[in-house]
Structure formats: structure tokens, C-alpha cells
Amino acid sequence: MSVDLNAKIPNNVGLAEDRRLQRALESWQPSFINWWKELGPEGTQNYDVYLRTAVSVEAEGWANFGYVKMPEYRWGIFLAPPVEGRTIPFGEHKGQPVWTDVPGEYRAALRRLIVTQGDTEPASVEQQRLLGLTAPSLYDLRNLFQVNCEEGRHLWAMVYLLHAYFGRDGREEAEMMLQRHSGDIDKPRILGAFNEETPDWLSYFMFTFFTDRDGKFQLSSLAESGFDPLARTCQFMLTEEAHHMFIGTTGVMRVVTRTCEVMNELKTDDPEKIRAAGAIDLPTLQKYLNFHYSVSLDLFGQEISTNAANYYTAGLKARFEESKIDDDHVLKDGSEKVTMFENGVIKEVETNALLAVNERLRDDYVADCQIGVSRWNKTIKRHKINFQLTLPHRGFHRAIGTFGGSSIAPDGAVITKEQWNKQKDKWLPSKGDRDFVISLQRSCIEPGKIASWVAPPGRGIDGHSFDYQYVRFN
Ligand code: BYC
Ligand code: FE
Ligand code: FE
């Protein structure tokens, strides 16, 4: 598949041969750039940022590093190469050739999935737009901008599908992507977590760990879609997603490390003393974890979902690593245990496997989150500190699904609204906690310098050291 890098819109989808589509996308492009300038990273128009840009989907081509002014970033449309003879891997069309066009009967469902996926991408850029003003280091600043640019590219990926395969309503949906805004009362983003604020870098690290990880699982399940263009787009997006989660995993790790160092230097576990030394006490980290984990769990939808069953049966959206699962990939007769909250009691319920597809994805996500948390705990232990971070119960602080609006403590105890209100500041960041974390946010962008509350990274980007000039301010 040939790559056209010099085109207005770099691509490997043969845009030059489809003038109508090319014109349509080129007319969306200025709206995107306007949106970026207005709601993308604040005050950065002239910065030269050491970024990777995808120039092809081959192993050597997709991570090309160099200084770029962000509004001139080459947002391209790149799909993984088609697999000759690929067949639909699951659902009632299992074994049939994949669709290279949208099957009429699934048009609405596919559009909805693509729109929901696409909407999250610019939402996250909007959520993070002010963080560049308070970066804890030049390295972190660069990583933030890298993620912002790639989320912008992910929007391009979905907008390409809408324009290429959904005609006029696809073009309308593409316009809407730039009209809904994170946190907007009248036109909010579609999913809850993408209307929350990301007001500080601790929230940002938690977001890239927990919420970008939802991206990993959703994209993986779309990467096996029977609609081949969607599958191929998502396969390539996943390669970029790995770096976003790396920022989260190592970001939180570095905060934990710094806190442990301060605790050992001062020989204390008194949060007040730790805070006075400019670090974030472990109980506060736990509260931020509780918040971001619970809002991210909501992103998997209802435990028992006919939508999800229909997507699966239609061959549109699979399970995580569908092809590696050893079963019939149709699930008509399968069953699955699901944790439900019924009449005030949390219980395991046996249900049809098809209806439990959302919950299964959430289970896989929970297990993946636990791996990261265990790594952070190893670091705490290595510092000989007696404290463990934990994932709260899945019913804790939920807005969607069986637990939506219920009062469940982090340990899974069912409590009253009154008890919840009394204790919630112990479990979720209080106004005071947030004010404290925000008080630590100061721009620290001299090469080699780092803020007081986070340890430097183990290594830099693209073989450069931590003190490299990752961003040049002009
Ligand atoms: N907030 O049957 P259900 C990423 C609605 S992150 C608000 O469970 P379904 C990224 C739902 O729409 C990955 N509403 O629905 C990360 C439905 O509405 P209707 C994003 C919600 O469709 C960081 C109703 O409740 N990708 O890429 O099976 C930075 C019934 O629910 C929510 C995707 O999400 C919610 N949280 O499940 C940048 C993939 N949850 O029909 C980027 C595409 C549910 O009653 N989306 N509802 O009007 C999907 O696969 C599905 O839409 C969902 C929801 C899994 C999200
Ligand atoms: Fe993304
Ligand atoms: Fe991401």
C-alpha cells in the first residue's frame, strides 16, 4: 500500500484517487485546525516540539522523530495493511469474508460505534488543554503534546471512516465531532469520563493509566471487527495507544517513587509533613486512583447489554483478543457470571454470554489495571513502606450500569446514602486534596529540572537523556 506523505492529508488509503473524498476531507481540515488552535494545547502555536509522527504503518515508519510546530503536525490517515482472505472472526457471519463496505443493515450501529470512539479523542485534547502551562518537566511537556497530537490523529482516523463510508450523515457527524465539547452543558461529549476535568498532572497521569486503557480495550475489540476498514484503523491506533498508557504507568510510578523518597528522608508517614515537603501523600494518591478507576469502569457500559450482544452477533465489535479465545465465537449457548446489584445486595448472576460481552471486557480491563497497581506496590515495598494501593470494588462510585447511583464503599460494603456522604471525602479527592495538588502545579521546564512531587523518568525519549531540549520555546 503506497504512502502519500506530500499530500495535504498524508495517507496510505489512496486519497488522491478519490477526488470527492479528498475534497470532503480537505474541507473538514480547516475546521479541525481551527478547533486545535482554539481548544487544543493552550499558547503553544510557536513551540518546536520533539515529536514522533507516523509516516507509514511499517515498523520503521510509524515512529519518526523530529521538531514540529504543533499546528503543522502532519495528521495522517493510516490503516494497517489488509490481510488477504481475512474472514469475520465471530458472530453470526463468522467465516464469511470481511466487509470492505458498510453492510446496509448495520449502518446505524457501525456509525454509532465510530462516532462514540471518535468523540473521545478530541474530548481528551480539550480536557488536557491547560496542562502545558504547569508541566513538571520538559520531558513531561513533550509527552503531553505527543499524546494530544496522536489523539488528534485518532479523531482523523474516525472522521476518515465517516467521510469515506457514511455519505452525508457521516460528514454531518464529522462536523459534530468539533461541536460537542468536554464539559459543555449544552453539547457535552458523549461518554461521562470525557466530561470530567483534568485539572492537574496527577489527574493526567491517572487518566492516561485508567482512561487511555479503556481505549486499549475498546480499540482491541474493534480491531477484530468484520468491517475491515474499522479493524485496520484500530489496529494501527493501538500501536500509538501503548505510549499513552506508558505515560500513565510510569507517571504514577514516578509520583509514588518521589513520595516514598520523601517519606524515608523525613522518616514519617504523616500526610501533613509529606505535603509540606512538596510531595503527595499515598492516601491522596489512593483517592485519585479511586476516582479515575471508577469513572473509567463506567466506560464499559451496562453489565447486561443487548447493544453489546447485537454488536457481537453482527460481527461489529468483538471481545478482547477474540481470536485467542478458545470457544465457538458465536456465544449463543454460552453463559457468563456477572456481578449485579439487586434489591440492595451484590450477587453473582449467571447470564447468557452474549449479553455479558461488555462485562467480560470490563473484567479483562480490571485485570490489566491490577498489573499496573501491583507494580506501583512493588516500588512502595522496595522503599520499605507499609502501604498498598488497591483497586476499589467495582461497584464503588459508579454512574452507569447495575451499580449506577448506589452507595458502595471501596471495600464493597453496601452502605446508606448518609454514610456515603459522611465518608466520601475519605475515598475520593476532597476539595482540600484537589486544592493541595493544584498548589503543586508549577511550570518546571528548564532542561533537566523536575518538580518537587514527581521523580524523573528512568530514561528519555528516542534515546535522548532526560535533560534533552524536548521543547524549544520561540
Ligand atoms: N457514559 O447497553 P449499553 C478512548 C449509554 S476510550 C454515557 O451498555 P453499549 C480514549 C449507552 O450509550 C474508548 N452514556 O451501551 C481514551 C446506551 O445509550 P442508549 C472509547 C453511556 O453501547 C483516552 C445506554 O447507556 N471507545 O479511546 O453497549 C483518551 C445503554 O448502555 C455510558 C468506545 O467506547 C457512559 N460511560 O456500551 C482518548 C468504543 N455507557 O442506547 C481516547 C465504542 C453507556 O440507551 N463504544 N452509556 O441511548 C461502545 O462500544 C459503546 O458505546 C459503549 C457503551 C461500550 C461505550
Ligand atoms: Fe486515542
Ligand atoms: Fe490514547
Look-up of cell digits 484503523: 233
Q: Map out the domains of the chain as residue ranges.
A: 15-472
Atom of ligand 1 nearest to the CA of 357: 28
Ligand (nearest to CA of 113): 1
Report, as an integer, the average pLDDT of 384-394. 98
Return the ligand 1 atom nearest residue 208 CA: 23
- Condensed to tens digits (0 to 9), the pLDDT of residues 271-323 reads 999 999 999 999 999 999 999 999 999 999 999 999 999 999 999 999 999 99
Residues 6+ away with beta carbon under 8 Å from 329: 89, 90, 91, 94, 322
pTM, full prediction: 0.97
**Residues of the chain by 3-state class (helix, strand, coil), percent to 5:** 50, 10, 40
DSSP codes of every residue in 12-53:
SS-GGG-HHHHHHHHHHHHHHHHHHHHHSSTT-TT-EEEEEE
CA 213 / ligand 2 centre spacing (Å) = 10
Name the closest-CA residue to atom 23, ligand 1: 212
Reported as a single tens digit per residue, the pLDDT across 117-169 is 999 999 999 999 999 999 999 999 999 999 999 999 999 999 999 999 999 99
Q: Does position 1 have pLDDT exceeding 70, yes or no? A: no
Which residue's C-alpha cell is 513538571? Answer: 136
Residues 6+ apart with CB under 8 A from 253: 375, 376, 379
Amino acid 63: pLDDT = 76
Find the 124 Cα to ligand 3 centroid distance in Å: 8
Over residues 333-381, the pLDDT tens digits come to: 999 999 999 999 999 999 999 999 999 999 999 999 999 999 999 999 9
Which H or E run contains 336?
strand 335-342
Considering the domain delimited by 15-472, tell me its CATH architecture. Answer: Orthogonal Bundle (1.10)
Could you tell which of 191, 297, 368 is best to mutate to test the pocket of ligand 1, judged by most ligand atoms within 8 Å of the CB?
Answer: 191
Q: Quick: pLDDT tens for 157-208.
A: 999 999 999 999 999 999 999 999 999 999 999 999 999 999 999 999 999 9
Helix (H) or strand (E) holding 335: strand 335-342
Q: Residue 465: what residue type?
A: S
